[in-house]
């Protein structure tokens, strides 16, 4: 659509001039201009934040009405402050943009390949409250008395409550405190399992023994995943014994206490119970506030007190979720170039809560795609080859994969195609979203339908 932006804006303003008092018009709109037009969105630039807030709140409707008088393809307006770069405007913000933002925040920290520890996890940055006090003091004591005080140390608690942070922090502190003379190694139990499986298959059990028994501090995360895998448990048990007999420190985390891991061998369980077991529970309000403030400081960013309070009041059960929401809010703020309003904070929290609690299923997804494209569910699920079914079907496949992580054969079967078609469709949509903001917008709208269903 080739159009002269200045002419369009001039027409809109002359219309506005008839609606507003002369003083208001001069104060708020005179120094505005139109920076761009994209897919029905007009990007309006105002001289400062104050004018932007004002116009956005008071005159948005009138402006949109006026704009549509001249061009009925206009769907909405976005307001920017002059000097703000256009490519930072809240156009179509994709998941990829957000991921880049989050990566930027975490980028300074890189996992040490020798120890597998991420230096971002320290005892210093671990906020302590009644929910994790015992676990924290045990951790601090272990740093001073490696292998002798609390051995093994078993920490358990729900998802996102800081287990990984705490046990990695012990490794990092030990490394700093003893200047690398005491060797730590961190491993997830999945990695441990896959190492053992690899070693068995390749007859390299000696490598594994050396790798894990040649350390002073072995940190194993999420041990509940080892339970039930016989060969892995066996190897872990031997590793455990060897280390333990040599007064090496063993640190273990789990999502539940040892007696609640049903498949865990009895002898391993009693070993764990011979050391110190500490749990971590949900953080209280003060702690949630402190965690938010800590994260802000860490990433060198700012957020208003009201927003901090709102997040701390509403996000209660998972520190990881708390961080995720905080990052989304900071992202929003940076895109806008202005402090967030409470309303936006509330919206972001609400959306996240919906994603967390509402359970989405496959028929909901297919139904919503059909609704969005105004086609029938039967057509989507059947073998029809109509042209108008191609895009909806590909998007349904993409969403089944993206939201539910379903297998390709299942997706194919569900939508009347084979698994290679499903793979192709998912890949295609995945790539196209990056370039095609209209498609991205469609997917966002369909997701809204899904969550509303």
In the complex, the residues that contact Mg ion under the rule CB under 5 A are 164
Helical residues (DSSP H) of 44-85, grouped into ranges: 49-58, 60-70
For residues 447 and 453, give the distance between their C-alpha atoms in angstroms, rounded to a whole number.
10
Number of residues that bind ligand ADP (CB under 6 A): 17
Rg (CA), the chain: 28
The reply to whether 323 sits near ligand ADP by the rule CB under 6 A is yes
- When the beta carbons of 223 and 291 are compared against ligand ADP, the nearer one is 291
132 near ligand ADP (CB under 6 A):
yes
SS3 280: strand
The region of 30-38, 123-131, 223-231, 262-270 touching ligand ADP under the rule CB under 6 A is 123-131
The answer to whether residue 192 forms part of the interface with ligand ADP (CB under 6 A) is no
From 52, 91, 163, 414, residue interacting with ligand ADP (rule: CB under 6 A): 163
164 vs 239, beta carbon nearer Mg ion:
164
Residue 328 sits in the site that holds ligand ADP (CB under 6 A): no
Nearer to ligand ADP, 163 or 336 (CB): 163
Tracing tokens 């059990």 back to the chain, one arrives at 205
- Tell me the backbone φ, ψ of residue 423, rounded to 5 degrees: -60, -45
Q: Answer yes or no: are the C-beta atoms of 155 and 278 closer than 8 Å.
A: yes
> Could you tell me the smallest distance in angstroms from the CB atom of residue 253 to ligand ADP?
7
H/E element, 422? helix 419-435
Other CB atoms within 10 Å distance of the CB of residue 43: 19
Give the residue with the Cβ less far from Mg ion, 16 or 220.
220
Minimal distance, residue 127 CB to ligand ADP, in Å: 4
Can residue 319 be called a binding residue for ligand ADP (CB under 6 A)?
yes
Shortest distance (Å) from residue 442 CB to ligand ADP: 33
Strands (E) located in 191-248: 217-221
Rounded to a whole number of angstroms, the minimum distance from the CB of residue 173 to ligand ADP is: 15
The distance of closest approach from Cβ of residue 353 to Mg ion in the complex, given in angstroms and rounded to an integer, is 22
Report the residue number, 287 or 380, with the smaller CB distance to ligand ADP: 287
Of the pair 1, 107, the CB lying nearest ligand ADP is at 107
Exposed/middle/buried for residue 162 (C-beta within 10 Å: 0-12, 13-18, 19+): buried
Copy the structure tokens of residue 67.
Answer: 């704009």
The strand ranges marked E within 255-390 are: 276-280
Longest pairwise C-alpha distance within the chain: 88
Binding site for ligand ADP (CB under 6 A): 125-127, 132, 157, 159-165, 291, 294, 319-320, 323
């Amino acid at each position: 659509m080739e159009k002269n932006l200045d002419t369009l804006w001039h027409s809109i303003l002359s219309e506005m001039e008839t609606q507003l008092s002369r003083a208001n018009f001069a104060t708020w709109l005179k120094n505005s201009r139109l920076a761009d037009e994209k897919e029905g969105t007009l990007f309006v630039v105002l001289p400062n934040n104050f004018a932007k807030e004002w116009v956005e709140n008071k005159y948005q409707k009138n402006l949109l009405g006026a704009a549509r008088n001249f061009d009925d393809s206009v769907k909405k307006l976005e307001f920017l402050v002059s000097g703000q770069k256009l490519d930072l405007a809240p156009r179509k913000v994709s998941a990829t943009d957000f991921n880049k933002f989050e990566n930027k925040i975490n980028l300074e920290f890189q996992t040490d390949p020798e120890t597998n520890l991420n230096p971002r996890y320290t005892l210093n940055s671990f906020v302590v409250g009644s929910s994790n006090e015992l676990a924290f003091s045990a951790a601090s004591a272990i740093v001073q008395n490696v292998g002798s005080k609390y051995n093994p140390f078993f920490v358990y608690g729900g998802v996102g409550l800081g287990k990984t942070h705490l046990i990695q922090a012990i490794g990092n502190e030990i490394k700093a405190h003893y200047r690398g003379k005491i060797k730590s190694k961190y491993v997830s139990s999945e990695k441990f399992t896959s190492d053992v499986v690899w070693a068995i298959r390749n007859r390299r059990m000696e490598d594994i023994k050396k790798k894990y028994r040649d350390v002073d501090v072995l940190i194993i995360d999420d041990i509940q995943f080892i339970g039930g895998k016989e060969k892995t448990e066996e190897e872990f048990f031997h590793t455990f014994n060897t280390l333990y007999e040599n007064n090496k420190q063993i640190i273990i985390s789990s999502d539940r206490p040892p007696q609640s891991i049903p498949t865990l061998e009895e002898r391993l369980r009693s070993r764990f119970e011979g050391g110190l077991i500490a749990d971590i529970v949900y953080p209280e309000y003060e702690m949630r506030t402190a965690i938010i403030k800590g994260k802000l400081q860490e990433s060198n960013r700012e957020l208003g007190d009201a927003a901090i309070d709102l997040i701390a009041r509403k996000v209660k059960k998972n520190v990881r979720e708390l961080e995720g929401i905080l990052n989304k809010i900071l992202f929003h703020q940076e895109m806008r170039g202005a402090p967030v309003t409470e309303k936006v904070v509330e919206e972001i929290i609400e959306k996240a809560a919906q994603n967390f609690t509402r359970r989405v299923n496959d028929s909901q997804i297919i139904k919503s795609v059909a609704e969005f494209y105004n086609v029938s569910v039967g057509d989507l699920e059947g073998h029809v080859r109509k042209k108008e079914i191609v895009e909806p079907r590909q998007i349904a496949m993409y969403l089944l994969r993206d939201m539910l992580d379903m297998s390709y054969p299942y997706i194919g079967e569900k939508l009347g195609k084979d698994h290679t078609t499903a793979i192709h469709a998912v890949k295609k949509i995945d790539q196209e979203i990056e370039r095609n903001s209209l498609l991205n917008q469609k997917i966002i709208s369909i997701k809204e339908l899904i969550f509303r269903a």
